[in-house]
Amino acid sequence: MTEIEKISSEQLILEAAEQEFLTKGYDGARTISIAQKAGVTHAMLHYYYRTKRQLFECILAKTISTVKETMLAAMGDPDMPLVERLKDGIASHFDHMVANPLLPRFFLNEIISRPELYSLLYERVASFIREFFADLQSEADAAAERGEIEKIDIPMLIISIMSLNIFPFVAYHFIEPVMGTIIADREIFLEERKAENIELIMRRIIKH
Amino acid sequence: MTEIEKISSEQLILEAAEQEFLTKGYDGARTISIAQKAGVTHAMLHYYYRTKRQLFECILAKTISTVKETMLAAMGDPDMPLVERLKDGIASHFDHMVANPLLPRFFLNEIISRPELYSLLYERVASFIREFFADLQSEADAAAERGEIEKIDIPMLIISIMSLNIFPFVAYHFIEPVMGTIIADREIFLEERKAENIELIMRRIIKH
DNA sequence: AAACTGTTTGACAAAATTGTTAATAACTAT
DNA sequence: ATAGTTATTAACAATTTTGTCAAACAGTTT
């Protein structure tokens, strides 16, 4: 008897659902399509998850916890000096995007467009983020005071970082054909892109 | 008899459809919802546009031509010196985003996820874009040779510009609550954002 | 006014999608 | 083996959404 890992239908459905929802969104996803991908009848889907909505909530929970991890990673190490902390945070954040390339689009489309869901999620992290911003801002102000870096507005800088790190994944299908030869090797492109994003932010804050 | 502009139902439906499709996407849009917004029965929608798909194609055609305009504007004036041309192009592109804030998300979601549609669209502009890139690259190489700017990779720079200019609109609902007070006045925020994007790109290319 | 044209509607049909159920199969523990 | 539990299926029901149609309506021309 070989080592056949018999994965439960429940799990198969969950994985198929993740792929379906992440690529097509809630409205575009079809329960039948999910069941087919999982290799079961669609009645099974209802047996384990009751409704399409509830199955979706399971995927949602997964993505939300991944997003939380990503944000934490992006915040970097508070003990590092600001510039190093930023470099580190940007790189970590980018790596999380590489590891979960479908998440940004899904998150932007499905969570943010549902005010009830998003405001709930936001309330939980609001004070945390405010604290992080304030912390970073005072560090930045101090460094600027010492003439080490330019005077910078942290929220604006964060938006820049997010734009640079997230957009390529949201728009990958658009970028790929246009950039053609440049992106021939995805691995290499992503490494270059990460370095470029760090370079951009560094040049924005260092004094010239 | 007052100047009552009696807008045709056909036009009302088109406008309602644009709003519905741009905010909810094709899958999320409902023909009944469009008809209600337009203030007519949904049979009218089929009378004028036959099917939901055909109505969608009409909206699609509009958005594609808007995107073309935006890209043209973003290319700036070939007679200007490179740095000025870039500043000008970035600002124009950003202004187009401000004027059509729902377009980026719609375009990224609806067009790019449909390979048949996108490859068709792309074939038409591919050579044009390649030419533009090559043109810009040789200008950039020349300027770098003269020591005016850093040596830069144009495709990478374009991705940076697109990321910075487009992302804030794709993610506005996400950014807004997080940035709270900073974005209290949308007009002001957008002006600052535009300036910030130009500043970032300029600092990336000028020699230090 | 009658005939003609395009517009509008409500009721209905068709299709697609989600959700349910009763019967059966497979597995587990006594 | 048998009773009991969980898993699975096929057929079916319900719902939602899109699409059709004949009849009524409104404006225009003769």
The predicted model gives A95-118 an average pLDDT of 89
State the smallest CA–CA distance between residue A171 and chain B in angstroms: 6
Cβ–Cβ pairs < 8 A, chains A and B: 118
Domain-wise residue ranges, chain B:
1-50, 60-205
Residue A2: pLDDT above 50?
no
Cβ atoms A137, A154 nearer than 8 A: yes
For A168, which of B23, B159, B182 is closest by C-beta distance?
B159
Q: Which residues of B touch A122 (CB under 8 A)?
A: 177-178
State the smallest CA–CA distance between residue A197 and chain B in angstroms: 8
Centre a 10 Å sphere on the Cβ of residue B146 and count the other Cβ atoms it contains. Answer: 8
pLDDT score at B67:
93
How confident is the model over A23-45, as pLDDT tens digits? 999 999 999 999 999 999 999 99
How confident is the model over B134-188, as pLDDT tens digits? 999 999 999 999 999 999 999 999 999 999 999 999 999 888 887 776 767 899 9
Q: Which residue of A has its CA nearest to B128?
A: A178
In the chain, the amino acid numbered A122 is: Y
Residue with tokens 């490179």: B82
Question: Any residues with CB less than 8 A from the CB of A40 and at least 6 apart, and which?
Answer: A9, A12, A13
Question: Any residues with CB less than 8 A from the CB of A98 and at least 6 apart, and which?
Answer: A190
The hierarchical CATH code for the domain A7-50 is: 1.10.10.60
For B:130-169, CB contacts with A below 8 A are: 153, 155-156, 159-160, 162-164, 166-168
Mean confidence (pLDDT) of chain A: 92
The answer to whether B112 contacts A168, with C-beta atoms less than 8 Å apart, is: no
Q: How far is CA A208 from CA A148, A150, B208, in A?
A: 10, 9, 6
How confident is the model over B56-72, as pLDDT tens digits? 999 999 999 999 999 99
How confident is the model over A73-85, as pLDDT tens digits? 999 999 999 999 9
How confident is the model over B84-114, as pLDDT tens digits? 999 999 999 999 999 999 999 999 999 877 7
How confident is the model over A6-25, as pLDDT tens digits? 688 899 999 999 999 999 99
For A113, which of B112, B129, B173 is closest by C-beta distance?
B173
CB of A184 within 8 Å of any CB in chain B? no
State the smallest CA–CA distance between residue A158 and chain B in angstroms: 10
Q: Among A166, A161, A122, A157, which Cα is nearest to A136's?
A: A157
Q: Which residue of A has its CA nearest to B120?
A: A177
Q: What whole-number distance in Å separates Cα of residue A27 and Cα of residue A190? A: 30
The predicted model gives A89-107 an average pLDDT of 97
The hierarchical CATH code for the domain A60-205 is: 1.10.357.10
**Structure token pair of residue B104:** 């980026």
Return the residue in A160, A161, A166, A202 with the most chain B beta carbons within 10 A, the one to mutate for interface testing. Answer: A160
Could you please report the per-residue DSSP string of A169-186? HHTHHHHHHHHGGGGSSH
Residue A1: pLDDT above 50?
no
The answer to whether B164 contacts A164, with C-beta atoms less than 8 Å apart, is: yes
Residue B83: pLDDT above 50?
yes
Residue A3: pLDDT above 60?
no
Q: Kindly indicate the confidence band of residue B82, based on its pLDDT and cuts at 50, 70 and 90.
A: very high
Cβ atoms A70, A93 nearer than 8 A: yes
Q: Kindly indicate the confidence band of residue B3, based on its pLDDT and cuts at 50, 70 and 90.
A: very low
Q: Kindly indicate the confidence band of residue B5, based on its pLDDT and cuts at 50, 70 and 90.
A: low
Q: What whole-number distance in Å separates Cα of residue A91 and Cα of residue A197? A: 9
Taking the stretch 45-64 of protein chain B, residues with Cβ within 7 Å of any atom in nucleic acid chain C are 47
Q: Kindly indicate the confidence band of residue A181, based on its pLDDT and cuts at 50, 70 and 90.
A: low
Mean confidence (pLDDT) of chain B: 92
Q: What is the CA radius of gyration of chain A?
A: 21
The answer to whether B159 contacts A175, with C-beta atoms less than 8 Å apart, is: yes
Residue A8: phi, psi to the nearest 5? -65, 150
Q: Kindly indicate the confidence band of residue B189, based on its pLDDT and cuts at 50, 70 and 90.
A: very high
Q: Quick check: A12 CB within 7 A of strand D?
A: no
* CATH fold for the domain made of B1-50: Arc Repressor Mutant, subunit A (1.10.10)
For A196, which of B119, B160, B174 is closest by C-beta distance?
B160
Q: What whole-number distance in Å separates Cα of residue A97 and Cα of residue A74? A: 11
Residue with tokens 């020591």: B147
pLDDT score at B125:
82
Q: Kindly indicate the confidence band of residue B7, based on its pLDDT and cuts at 50, 70 and 90.
A: confident
Residue A30 DSSP one-character state? -
pLDDT score at B181:
66
Q: Quick check: A17 CB within 7 A of strand C?
A: no
CB of B68 within 8 Å of any CB in chain A? no
* Partner residues linked to B149 by β-bridges: B206
pLDDT score at B176:
84
Centre a 10 Å sphere on the Cβ of residue A115 and count the other Cβ atoms it contains. Answer: 12
Q: Kindly indicate the confidence band of residue A94, based on its pLDDT and cuts at 50, 70 and 90.
A: very high
Return the residue in A26, A120, A178 with the most chain B beta carbons within 10 A, the one to mutate for interface testing. Answer: A178
Centre a 10 Å sphere on the Cβ of residue A32 and count the other Cβ atoms it contains. Answer: 11
Q: Among B125, B128, B158, which Cα is nearest to B140's?
A: B158
pLDDT score at A59:
97
CB of B117 within 8 Å of any CB in chain A? no
For B108, which of A170, A182, A203 is closest by C-beta distance?
A170
The answer to whether B156 contacts A196, with C-beta atoms less than 8 Å apart, is: yes
